[in-house]
Amino acid sequence: MRHLQIIIILLLITGLAGCVQSRKDETKDSNQPNILLILVDDLGYSDLGCFGSEINTPHIDELADQGVKIADFYVSSLCAPSRAMLLTGVDNHQNGLGSMPPGHTANQYLKPGYEGSLNNRVVSIPEVLHENGYHTYMAGKWHLGHHKESYPSNSGFEKSFAFLGGGSGHFSNAFALGPGEQPVTFYVREQDILEKLPDDFYSTKNFSDEMIKYITEQEDNSPFFGYLAYTAPHDPLQVPDEYLDHYKGIYDQGYEVIKKERLARMKSIGIVDGSVPYNPGTGKFSQWEDLDDAGKQSQARKMEIYAAMIENLDFHIGRVIDVLKETGKYENTLIIFLSDNGSNPKEAVFYPGSSIDFLAENYDNSLENLGKSNSFVSQGGSWAEVSNTPFTYFKTTTGEGGIHAPLIIAGPGVEIGNFQTVTGMHVCDIFPTVIDLAGTSRPDTHKGSELAPLYGVSAKEFLAGNEVLVRNTTMDPLHFEMLECKAVIKGKWKAMMLQPPYANEPVWQLYDLSTDPLEKLDLASQEPEKLNELSEEWDRYASEVGYIKAEGDMLILNIGPEEFYKYESPRN
Ligand SMILES: [Ca+2]
């Protein structure tokens, strides 16, 4: 009898071992897709050829032809909160980017959800995938913490070549955006700070080179997750010499002509409804006819360089895609392309610690030198409004132009084609979608900490053509807040609060996006009950995610950048 029991136990053990073995084999043979997540910085809604631009982006357009373009994709109005939500699926007030450094006021500084880098209530895409057998690579801008514990190499990436700050010169001199950003303006390779960049460094080229190296040097057949987070076309507007004149003369006719041409193309492609009118913009920036000849020349030149940066981006993305094809990995690689926020209206003088005198002393912004390594100009408000066609507003605001971004998804699992309107797909949706398509799942805890709830929902079934919507915002509204600009989108309704100078005073406005996607007719006084419903919905959200209202000035203005950035990692 005892022998029989032992035999049964042995059989059970060997049986179980067999199960474990076959599950392992299943994983190995399951053909999990490689995932290449391509993020670009401050690229506007209409800046890609496949979204109606005059800028040449043939490789990105080809990707869009093979996959799906999402027409109503929402992001945060600023870089780091979008990136934190992209990589974690958790609302920015819960993942550590409640404010974007150095935007914190004293009462927000280091509070839960406002730590300034990914906190310990989230798990990132690379952490989940690495723990499930993926190789994980990153090249590009991190912007999610500058302390060692927050480096990409301590956040799930096996290999990483990363810029830690929000932006810098694109060439080897890699200067800070302003004195206030100096402490976070540096590059790391895994754990090591790089003292010097190669002399021929250009951000877009070198980030691509690094990703290509990671992909080609991989020795086994495990799937990989690659995060390619370009800093182009973020300011300073700079591009290698051979690209400087690619768009010579294209912008000489000014803002209105280009904006009208883009709108017409967007309508013919079908991304914008034929009824959408020409958008004159906010009226907050220069009008072409008010500029003198020198003003027109310098404005046109800035846009030539901006366009060239995007064409250069496309060229290098094409190189990475070619490598996937050459190595036989392309067919099994899911590629996701997006921008982190709308186009940027701010001039270079905007960055903390900068001034007109500081710029004059440190850069040569003469017309013939624009775009070179010692120049620092930005796209500016008038061109940013063109880039965000057909929408109003831009980066830093929760207007449609600030929180709308192009999104393209192609590869295994993507069965639908052409433009898709999904009533508000959100940047937080990328995390659950990727985790799902990789055949993995999000754990309940990570490194001993309870995780904050996901804000995002998976688009897997939508991409497979099994569901019509990613989410129904009438039942599941979208919420936004960054630097006290707020919004909530519920079905066709959007309530929004902007700050001066883009609103006379910070009060709730109300728009019907179905008839007024340009946010021109404020219905707040006509529809008080609807406005009340939406503002209460925002209040409910704010309380749920732990929003802390900004009070007073930015702390960095009082204590200086060195002191401000001294804080420790919340993952320490
Ligand atoms: Ca950005």
User: Where is pLDDT greater, at 33 or 568?
Assistant: 33
Helix (H) or strand (E) run with residue 256 in it? helix 255-269
Other beta carbons within 10 Å of 288: 16
Q: How confident is the model at residue 13 (pLDDT cuts 50, 70, 90)?
A: very low
Whether 87 and 428 have beta carbons less than 8 Å apart is answered as no
- Please give the pLDDT value at position 488: 98
Q: How far is the CA of 79 from the centre of ligand 1 (A)?
A: 4
On the question of a cis peptide bond just before residue 501, with omega within 30 degrees of 0, the verdict is yes
Q: How confident is the model over 556-569, as a mean pLDDT?
A: 90
CA distances from 283 to 279, 501, 530 (A): 10, 11, 28
The model's pLDDT over 332-380, given as tens digits with 9 standing for 90+, comes to 999 999 999 999 999 999 998 899 999 999 999 999 999 999 999 999 9
pLDDT score of 21: 36
pLDDT tens digit sequence for 127-138: 999 999 999 999
The 10s digit of each residue's pLDDT in 259-277 is: 999 999 999 999 999 999 9
Measure 27 CA to ligand 1 centroid, in angstroms. Answer: 36
- Residue 510, pLDDT > 80, answer yes
Given the residues 59, 104, 143, 234, the one annotated as active site: 143
Name the residue with higher pLDDT: 572 or 396: 396
Amino acid identity, residue 317?
I
- Non-local (6+) Cβ contacts of 17 within 8 A are none
Whole-number pLDDT of residue 572: 74
Helix locations, 270-412, DSSP H: 293-326, 356-362, 381-387, 400-403
Q: How far is the CA of 348 from the centre of ligand 1 (A)?
A: 14
pLDDT at 568: 81
> Mean pLDDT of all residues in the chain?
94
Mean pLDDT of the region 454-459: 98
pLDDT of residue 275: 96
Tokens of 201: 């460094």
Task: Give the distance (Å) from ligand 1 centre to CA of residue 78.
Answer: 6
What does the pLDDT average to over 206-233? 98
Task: Measure 176 CA to ligand 1 centroid, in angstroms.
Answer: 15
The catalytic residue among 50, 79, 428, 485 is 79
**pLDDT single digits (tens) 407-447:** 999 999 999 988 898 989 999 999 999 999 999 999 999 99
Q: How far is the CA of 485 from the centre of ligand 1 (A)?
A: 16
pLDDT score of 29: 40
- Banded model confidence at residue 28, pLDDT cuts 50, 70, 90: very low
Average pLDDT over residues 138-167: 97
Residue 12 has pLDDT above 80, yes or no: no
**Residue 30 above 90 pLDDT?**
no
pLDDT tens for 75-127 read 999 999 999 999 999 999 999 999 999 999 999 999 999 999 999 999 999 99
- Could you tell me the two tokens for 319? 């190189």
State the pTM of this model.
Answer: 0.94
Pairing of strands 224-229, 34-40: parallel
Mean pLDDT of all residues in 483-499: 98
Residue 19 among the catalytic residues: no
pLDDT over 70 (residue 4):
no
Identify whether 233 is preceded by a cis peptide bond (ω within 30 of 0): yes
Q: Binning pLDDT at 50, 70 and 90, where does residue 10 land?
A: very low
pLDDT for the residue 131: 96
The mean per-residue pLDDT over the stretch 234-258 comes to 98
What residues form DSSP beta bridges with 512?
Answer: 493
List the shell of residues around ion ligand 1, using CB closer than 5 Å: 41-42, 79, 340-341
In which element (H, E) is residue 489 found?
strand 485-490
Q: In the prediction, which pLDDT does 8 show?
A: 42
Q: How far apart are the CA of 569 and the centre of ligand 1, in A?
A: 22
